[in-house]
């Protein structure tokens, strides 16, 4: 029975933060604070992580509270601690490349043409059947049996191109991250893997913490970067440039890049991300069109 007394609610509700809550908090942090007024925002306001306020122009805006900022910062710190040393160093290299004006991808799977007869690893053999970008597996096996050039799946740690619409200026690069000597030696035992990197890039680099190996242990065609100090605050020093070889990416690689999402910096605003995505799409489209026109002219 209704007693007519007002219902008193607690200042905040005990809501457990989920991934979609954190995603929305980050979106609010990056944006101008336009409210969506959906169920997720209702949770954020009820939990005390966000608050509704009047904007400068009199419109309603949503802002993070101190509790929301602490929650977001704590989640970020946990994620950073959860990253392996390999992932942290790869992220550091990717950030440096983006700062120098390059478009960067990580965790790509690209098929490369090679002449080396190394047997593929079990993992690589399984990967070949995952993304049939060019030839089917029967054709690949037939080529290998006949001693012809074959196709292998390559997974470069960091792949990048310059921001340009001129195909000849793209200068694709591969950076392989090796944080342990065992991982490096395993990589160096497979000539086919290194040939894949070279087929996909003008320059290929190995990035190592100081002490993992001497630069002279890396084949001369490959450049070497050394990390001196910790991953967060140490310096990345180029101790040997890579041998530069001309490289033009074929159509299937362009398609793989177009379908993949480039790395973005945490500090970029949402509007900047949209602008960069559009610019990157124009780079890929313009270079692809130029390449196709050139091939048509040549033929």
| Greater pLDDT, 236 or 75 | 236
pLDDT at 28: 83
- pLDDT at residue 116 greater than cutoff 90: no
Contacts for 20 with CB less than 8 Å, ≥ 6 apart: 40
Q: Rounded mean pLDDT of the chain?
A: 78
- DSSP, res 11: S
| Structure confidence at residue 91 as a pLDDT band (50, 70, 90) | very high
The answer to whether the beta carbons of residues 199 and 127 sit under 8 Å apart is no
Scored b (16 or more CB within 10 A) or e, 185-221 reads eeebebebbbbbbbbbbbbbbbbbbeebbeeeebeee
Lowest mean pLDDT among 20-29, 44-53, 195-204, 277-286: 277-286
**Average pLDDT of 128-146?**
41
| Greater pLDDT, 94 or 54 | 94
| Residues in the chain, overall count | 299
Question: How does pLDDT run across 3-33, given as a tens digit for each residue?
Answer: 454 545 466 778 888 877 888 888 888 777 7
Across 180-194, 224-238, 263-277, the highest mean pLDDT is recorded for 224-238
pLDDT at 204: 96
d(CA 160, CA 98): 9
pLDDT at 288: 53
Partners of 114 in beta bridges: 150
Lowest mean pLDDT among 23-32, 125-134, 228-237: 125-134
d(CA 275, CA 279): 6
| Structure confidence at residue 232 as a pLDDT band (50, 70, 90) | confident
pTM of this structure: 0.59
d(CA 157, CA 145): 30
Q: Residue ranges per domain, the chain?
A: 19-79, 84-259
Question: How does pLDDT run across 200-209, given as a tens digit for each residue?
Answer: 999 999 999 9
pLDDT at 227: 96
- pLDDT at residue 120 greater than cutoff 50: no
Percent of the chain with pLDDT over 90: 32
| Structure confidence at residue 283 as a pLDDT band (50, 70, 90) | low
**Average pLDDT of 114-133?**
47
Question: How does pLDDT run across 151-174, given as a tens digit for each residue?
Answer: 888 899 999 999 988 888 999 999
| Greater pLDDT, 177 or 269 | 177
d(CA 83, CA 89): 10
| Greater pLDDT, 217 or 29 | 217
Lowest mean pLDDT among 20-34, 127-141, 232-246: 127-141
User: Which contiguous run of DSSP H or E holds residue 138?
Assistant: helix 137-145
d(CA 200, CA 159): 9
């Amino acid at each position: 029975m209704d007693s007519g007394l007002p219902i008193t609610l607690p200042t905040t509700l005990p809501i457990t933060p989920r991934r979609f809550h954190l995603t929305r908090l980050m979106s609010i942090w990056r944006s101008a604070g336009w409210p969506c007024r959906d169920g997720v925002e209702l949770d954020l306001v009820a939990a005390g992580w966000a608050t509704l306020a009047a904007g400068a122009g009199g419109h309603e805006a949503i802002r993070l509270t101190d509790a929301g900022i602490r929650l977001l910062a704590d989640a970020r710190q946990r994620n950073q601690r959860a990253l392996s040393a390999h992932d942290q160093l790869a992220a550091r290299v990717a950030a440096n490349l983006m700062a120098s004006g390059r478009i960067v991808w990580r965790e790509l799977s690209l098929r490369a043409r090679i002449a080396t007869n190394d047997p593929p690893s079990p993992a690589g053999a399984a990967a070949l059947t995952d993304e049939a970008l060019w030839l089917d597996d029967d054709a690949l096996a037939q080529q290998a049996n006949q001693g012809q050039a074959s196709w292998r799946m390559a997974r470069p740690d960091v792949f990048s191109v310059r921001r340009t619409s001129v195909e000849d200026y793209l200068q694709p690069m591969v950076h392989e991250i090796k944080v342990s000597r065992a991982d490096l030696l395993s990589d160096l035992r497979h000539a086919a893997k290194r040939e894949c990197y070279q087929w996909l890039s003008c320059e290929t680099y190995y990035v190592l913490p100081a002490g993992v190996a001497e630069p002279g242990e890396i084949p001369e065609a490959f450049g070497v970067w050394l990390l001196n100090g910790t991953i967060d605050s140490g310096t990345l020093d180029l101790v040997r440039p890579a041998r530069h070889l001309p490289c033009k990416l074929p159509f299937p690689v362009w398609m793989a890049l177009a379908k993949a999402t480039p790395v973005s910096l945490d500090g970029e605003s949402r509007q900047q991300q949209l602008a960069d995505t559009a610019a990157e799409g124009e780079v890929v489209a313009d270079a692809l069109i130029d390449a196709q026109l050139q091939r048509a002219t040549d033929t």
